Amino acid sequence: MEQYKQEFIEFMVDCEVLRFGDFVTKSGRKTPFFINTGFYRTGAQLKKLGEYYAKAIETAFGTDFDVLFGPAYKGIPLSVAAAIALDENYGASIRYCSNRKEEKDHGDKGILLGGPVGDGDRVVIIEDVTTAGTSIRETVPLLKAQGDIKLAGLVVSVDRMERGTGTVSALEEIRTTYDLPVTSIVTMAEVVEHLYNRPYKGKVLIDDSIKEAIDRYYEQYGA
């Protein structure tokens, strides 16, 4: 596993974004692990997060695209932080863009904020975590309504590796449905590989009992 992936897993733990125990996801699934990107709360954390996203984007898609689109609300700071990191680390001048939940009818009018999206633009979508793919199913029509755009990729922080509406993973469904390349900074398999029975700062986060719970979860919901 690449060094930056190991560092990102530990970064999530340090920020309390990645936790283990008993939780319920938005889709109603009981899960032994939870990822809440709302716990990235400081400027330093967002700067570092943007750098990890930029690394994953550059590795998977390169930097030959025009717009980095972050769906409201969590995608707004992600698109800004990653766009800054793409400029600083790779010299790529990428427009950031997000949507409003309600269209604005005065001043900076419209449904979008940030850089414009239009004909010929190549767009990479940036998300926090995709479980069922609901947000993307709302985002793609919104983007295509802006003009003849090309969907150049989707990046998420963690691939939960769960089934979507069918038998394959939510990310795989998105890839095939929208002909959209997808990537993640890390997968849950990589998280387990890095943390299982391995102390981090004096504590084993995935011991045998947590590992067993994760295995049971994937027996039920895994792709």
pLDDT score recorded for residue 90: 98
Is residue 163 a contact partner of residue 122, using CB atoms and an 8 Å limit?
no
Active site residue 106: yes
- Cα separation, 38 vs 18, whole angstroms: 11
In this prediction, the residues of the chain whose per-residue pLDDT falls under 50 are: 106-107
pLDDT number for residue 107: 47
pLDDT at residue 52, rounded to an integer: 98
Please choose, from the candidates 170, 182, 154, the residue with its C-alpha nearest in 3D space to the C-alpha of residue 222. 170
Catalytic residue from among 101, 106, 109, 201? 106
pTM: 0.93
Measured over the CA atoms of residue 30, residue 177, residue 182 and residue 134, the dihedral's sign is negative
Q: Which two tokens stand for residue 136?
A: 């993307």
Is 155:57 a contact under the CB 8 Å cutoff?
A: yes
Per annotation, catalytic residue among 5, 30, 101, 104: 104
pLDDT given at position 133: 66
Is 203 among the residues known to form the active site? Answer: no
